[in-house]
Amino acid sequence: MMPMGLLIEIQKKDQHMFRPTVLLGIVLLFSACSPADDFRQQKIAARRAAAEQTHEMAKNPVAVQQFLSNTTTKVWNAHGTQIEYLAADGQTFLWYPDNVAVVKGRWKLQMARYGLEMCFLYGENSLNPLTGQNGGQWECDMAAYYLLNRDEIVDGDPLNLVAGVPFVMPRNTNISIAQAMSRAGRGQLREPNKAMAPQYPSGN
């Protein structure tokens, strides 16, 4: 590739003939060292490393139980923002978008043929609006998948979800635990995010 200065000089001499070459050279020059590309590759590498670490942890049910007990988790997906407190005694308190009260349930870990599962049970009067399914039955998924897809995992119940929802969660808004605490007037989040692959809303 010719240096950029040489390409510009050629453009000045014969503007019509060499303009495509000049533009192509500049595009190639910048695309070859784009900070966005470097950042994207770093994110892919970090995600891959987190996946390997998560699958290794999931081989040890005791370690996963200790890691998740008495924590508040947050995920942003097709449901919207969901924040949930996982009590050490197996109770769970889910803060779901548009709900005026927490959805109480149970959580547990169990071994399946393919590995460790993370399971949840919510009341029969609860409803999954995406699937149309009522609660009342245990639903399980791979523990490694659950761990890898939590945006945030912090120790304790900083939002005091055992007492109810701090406010009605907007459905189409990605809210971090720290932002929710600030909005609820509960001060600053002091516990670090120990999620395997942490994610935050823009501007957080």
pLDDT digits 0-9 by tens, 133-176: 767 889 999 999 999 999 999 999 999 999 999 999 998 899 99
Domain spans in the chain, listed from the N-terminal domain onward: 61-183
Task: Output the pLDDT for position 80.
Answer: 94
CA dist 13 and 93 (Å) reads 71
CA dist 161 and 93 (Å) reads 6
- Angle of helix 61-68 relative to helix 35-57, nearest 10 degrees, comes to 120
Task: Output the pLDDT for position 34.
Answer: 66
The pTM (predicted TM-score) of the whole model is 0.77
Main-chain phi, psi angles of 30, to 5 degrees: -75, -35
- Give the dihedral sign, CA 156/162/166/170: positive
pLDDT digits 0-9 by tens, 18-55: 344 443 343 333 445 566 677 677 767 777 888 898 98
CB 7 within 8 A of CB 22: yes
Give 3-state DSSP helix, strand, coil % of the chain, rounded to 5: 35, 25, 40
